[in-house]
Amino acid sequence: MSTERKLTARVVRLRAELEKEFADVRRHMLLCDEEQRAFAEISNRAYAAGKGRPEVLRCADFLKLFAETMPVGIRKDELIVGSQRFTHPDWGRYLSKEQLEEGGPHSNHGHIIVDYGRILRRGISSARKELKSMPQGDNREAFILALDAFSTFIRRHSEACAQAGRDDIAAVCANIAEKAPLTFQEALQMVWFIQIFLHAEGNCAAISFGRFDQYLWPYLKLELAKERMDAGDVLELLCCFFMKCCEGDESQNLVVGGADLDGESMENALSLLVLEASRKIKVWQPSISVRIGKDVSEKFWKEALLLSTAGTGMPSFFNETVVQAGLEKAGVPAARAADFGIVGCYEAAPQGDSYPMTVGAGVSLPSILWDFMKTYPGGNDDFTNFYSEFKSFFKSHYEQKLLPSFVERWEHQKRSCPSPFESVCVTGCIESGLAAEEGGAKFNLFGVNILGLGTLIDSLLSIKKLIYDDNEFTLAQMKEQLGQNFPDRKLLLRCRSVPGKYGSDNARTNLLARELSTFIARIVISKPMPNGVRPYPGFFWFGADVTAKTPASADGRMDNDRLSYGCGPGVFLEGPAITSILNSVSNMDHGSCACGNPMTISLDKGDVGGKAGTDRIRQIIETYFSQGGSHLQFNIISPEDLRGAREQPEDHQDLTVRISGYSARFVTLDPRWQDALIERAEKGM
């Protein structure tokens, strides 16, 4: 298969059009005013009319109105149809019970991988038959309404395409409005329709595609065998699909590669074509992830590495066995853990039959340390006392305050947004008769997003050295300084200059990182919630490292300043090379953290040029993964380029960077994010 394959003229035209639209919209999600207005009107109308109805039916009523009245059409040149250029003003917001009753659409918080494979195999009509077997009740009624609405939605697209003279696409849509798709294009179109419908229903981000190269492969295999398509045709369709993904959502993960339960490689031609398409079309969605196991083929490595040097911050590399181990610890049986996909940024979950609620709750470690310090008297103690008291405080805080709040959060979700279409698509819900939010899926997880491990470790090092080892300051003085945001500049600088920081590959700090992360992860993972829901940890809380308001910390970080990102080092680490950083971070308890332990490395373009450069990326990944690391991604960018883009955005419209678990146009980012990225690039992170 030649990698020199060019994009077709159609794709080039569509891509240029997308670029133009992007320049008009100036944000990384493409939205359309007209669709926005229509969507807001429909949802407000439907939810207001359904006031007093059970939530699940209210949502189904909305889906019906959406399917029947949302404007549908086809754009010039499109091969995959259906638009997702809308979000509601309340997109992704956490609404109180009262606000929900007032109307407005639900936000079910997205972050899920539905069972695309099952829907594709059965088609709408067989799924409807299954629904009929459910016991009578609101859920059954709502599920059927939702599925019927979905069929209507597809049929309307078929009609719109026929009217626009695009009989080929009209036929594709007509074929799947009731029956199961038979061709690759039909299957891909079906996946996209499912996406739009989940997006409309969920009103939130990160509806992810899971193992795209697995459930679509049977369709493609047949096409290739019968020579109805060649690789160029597939590439064109994939590019059309990826451009669609730039609409309305910003974090749709799509994972390729990996093994089955027995370790047998599941790679196929589609896995490679996905990587090739992403590299060539150079758009910022979907977020491509790859599973790296024992048996990755040379071809797969080559495509994955070529993509990694294409300058879009993709793919994200996941260490298969470590991620699986983390899911198994959270109670997922091995066979299902092996079938994990990536949700949103970095969160792993079995695809199709789990309700992972990966952004369940955030836990800020530096804030907890401060709360502890406020209550801890000190005096006549040593660091060992301090540290063990802190751990006891954390444990009881978690068990007595946080865990009950998680349960409350889950109950709120259950009451407020049972989502009928999503539930039809998630395996387990029809059998159990419950919506996904009610615990209907086979596996129910609850993501505990832990923030600021690096900041916590550096703060503890600072407390140990300055207060207990060197007696430079008393605990009381430190508390006073933290409370008043470091009026003493000398103490501030002293805190920042404490050596042996997390990330410098210091043996004692590494041990502390190992011990502390294991302690925290085990507490989270060992305490199930009611209804069989299993909390599972990740040392990652999306965006909070930049936006969370966190009081000053003993590492010399001032009030509200940035915190460490993911499972990476604190903000005052300076100097260590990436090998030292990765050696340090590999000490984390990655094998317990399936909800995501992200690590980003920034490399200079000069370091990754040619075959030697891509080999180097592979060596870095293999070394880190052999030491137990769970995730790695790369920004191939120099801090100078980022600074240039901040100063002259008009000249750097196309600069795409990895901002967290997804990529985005640098010029569209909040200045605080831009600063954080520049600073991290300078440190190789």
If binding is defined by CB under 8 A, does position 574 make contact with another protein?
A: yes
- Of 379 and 499, which CB lies nearer to another protein in the complex structure? 499
- Of 504 and 668, which CB lies nearer to another protein in the complex structure? 504
- Of 236 and 320, which CB lies nearer to another protein in the complex structure? 320
- Which residue in 155, 179, 302, 496 binds another protein (CB under 8 A)? 496
CB of residue 617 to another protein, shortest distance in Å? 11
| Helices 55-69, 138-163: inter-axial angle, 10-degree rounding | 10
- Which residue in 78, 320, 505, 641 binds another protein (CB under 8 A)? 505
Contact 452, 563 (CB under 8 A): yes
- Of 183 and 627, which CB lies nearer to another protein in the complex structure? 627
- Of 617 and 659, which CB lies nearer to another protein in the complex structure? 617
If binding is defined by CB under 8 A, does position 576 make contact with another protein?
A: yes
Contact 436, 380 (CB under 8 A): no
Tokens for 325, please give them.
């181990």
- Of 39 and 572, which CB lies nearer to another protein in the complex structure? 572
If binding is defined by CB under 8 A, does position 527 make contact with another protein?
A: no
If binding is defined by CB under 8 A, does position 494 make contact with another protein?
A: yes
Q: Which of residues 351-370 bind another protein (CB under 8 A)?
A: none
CA–CA gap between residue 571 and residue 556 (Å, rounded): 9
Q: Which of residues 601-630 bind another protein (CB under 8 A)?
A: 607, 615-616, 619-620, 622-623, 626-627
If binding is defined by CB under 8 A, does position 579 make contact with another protein?
A: yes
CB of residue 629 to another protein, shortest distance in Å? 11
- Of 504 and 660, which CB lies nearer to another protein in the complex structure? 504
CB of residue 626 to another protein, shortest distance in Å? 6
Q: Is 321 helix (H, G, I), strand (E, B) or coil?
A: helix
If binding is defined by CB under 8 A, does position 511 make contact with another protein?
A: no
Q: Which of residues 625-684 bind another protein (CB under 8 A)?
A: 626-627
Of 370-378, 451-459, 478-486, 489-497, the segment contacting another protein by CB under 8 A is: 489-497
- Of 33 and 574, which CB lies nearer to another protein in the complex structure? 574
- Of 473 and 536, which CB lies nearer to another protein in the complex structure? 473
The amino acid at residue 412 is H
- DSSP state letters, 239-275: HHHHHHTTBS-S--EEEE--B-TTS-B---HHHHHHH
Picking from 324, 318, 330, 323, the residue whose alpha carbon sits closest to that of residue 355 is 330
Tokens for 635, please give them.
């920004």
- Which residue in 226, 294, 489, 549 binds another protein (CB under 8 A)? 489
CB of residue 476 to another protein, shortest distance in Å? 22
Is residue 294 classed exposed, middle or buried when 0-12, 13-18 and 19+ CB atoms within 10 A define those classes?
exposed
If binding is defined by CB under 8 A, does position 392 make contact with another protein?
A: no
Q: Which of residues 226-245 bind another protein (CB under 8 A)?
A: none
Q: Is 398 helix (H, G, I), strand (E, B) or coil?
A: helix
CA–CA gap between residue 318 and residue 338 (Å, rounded): 13
If binding is defined by CB under 8 A, does position 476 make contact with another protein?
A: no
Tokens for 324, please give them.
């699986």
If binding is defined by CB under 8 A, does position 302 make contact with another protein?
A: no
- Of 255 and 513, which CB lies nearer to another protein in the complex structure? 513
Contact 494, 466 (CB under 8 A): yes
- Of 294 and 489, which CB lies nearer to another protein in the complex structure? 489
First to last CA, the chain: 34
Half-sphere exposure of 72 (CA within 13 A, CB side): 25
- Of 348 and 498, which CB lies nearer to another protein in the complex structure? 498
If binding is defined by CB under 8 A, does position 560 make contact with another protein?
A: no
Cα angle value 581/253/675 (rounded, 5°): 45
CB of residue 320 to another protein, shortest distance in Å? 17
Q: Which residue has the tokens 């979000």?
A: 87
- Of 428 and 591, which CB lies nearer to another protein in the complex structure? 591
Total binding residues toward another protein, as defined by CB under 8 A: 23
Residues 6 or more apart in contact with residue 548 via CB below 8 angstroms: 362, 364, 451, 541, 563
DSSP one-letter code for 437: G
Of 307-315, 322-330, 425-433, 491-499, the segment contacting another protein by CB under 8 A is: 491-499
Residues 6 or more apart in contact with residue 587 via CB below 8 angstroms: 510, 511, 513, 514, 517
- Of 115 and 505, which CB lies nearer to another protein in the complex structure? 505
CA–CA gap between residue 79 and residue 101 (Å, rounded): 40
- Of 66 and 486, which CB lies nearer to another protein in the complex structure? 486
- Which residue in 163, 497, 531, 648 binds another protein (CB under 8 A)? 497
449: phi then psi, degrees, rounded to nearest 5: -95, 105
Of 251-259, 358-366, 407-415, 486-494, the segment contacting another protein by CB under 8 A is: 486-494
- Which residue in 132, 294, 490, 549 binds another protein (CB under 8 A)? 490
CB of residue 392 to another protein, shortest distance in Å? 33
- DSSP state letters, 39-78: HHHHHHHHHHHTTTS-HHHHHHHHHHHHHHHS-----TT-
CB of residue 582 to another protein, shortest distance in Å? 8
CB of residue 297 to another protein, shortest distance in Å? 18
Of 319-327, 393-401, 474-482, 577-585, the segment contacting another protein by CB under 8 A is: 577-585
- Of 334 and 493, which CB lies nearer to another protein in the complex structure? 493
CA–CA gap between residue 140 and residue 15 (Å, rounded): 42
If binding is defined by CB under 8 A, does position 397 make contact with another protein?
A: no
If binding is defined by CB under 8 A, does position 583 make contact with another protein?
A: yes
Picking from 104, 96, 98, the residue whose alpha carbon sits closest to that of residue 49 is 104
CA–CA gap between residue 283 and residue 48 (Å, rounded): 38
CB of residue 627 to another protein, shortest distance in Å? 6
Give the dihedral sign, CA 603/283/181/121.
Answer: positive
If binding is defined by CB under 8 A, does position 578 make contact with another protein?
A: yes
CB of residue 301 to another protein, shortest distance in Å? 13
Picking from 628, 495, 484, the residue whose alpha carbon sits closest to that of residue 559 is 484
CA–CA gap between residue 227 and residue 44 (Å, rounded): 48
Q: What's the Cα-to-Cα distance from 49 to each of 22, 53, 101, rounded to whole Å?
A: 36, 9, 11
Instruction: Give residues in contact with another protein (CB under 8 A).
Output: 489-490, 493-494, 496-497, 505, 574, 576-580, 583, 607, 615-616, 619-620, 622-623, 626-627
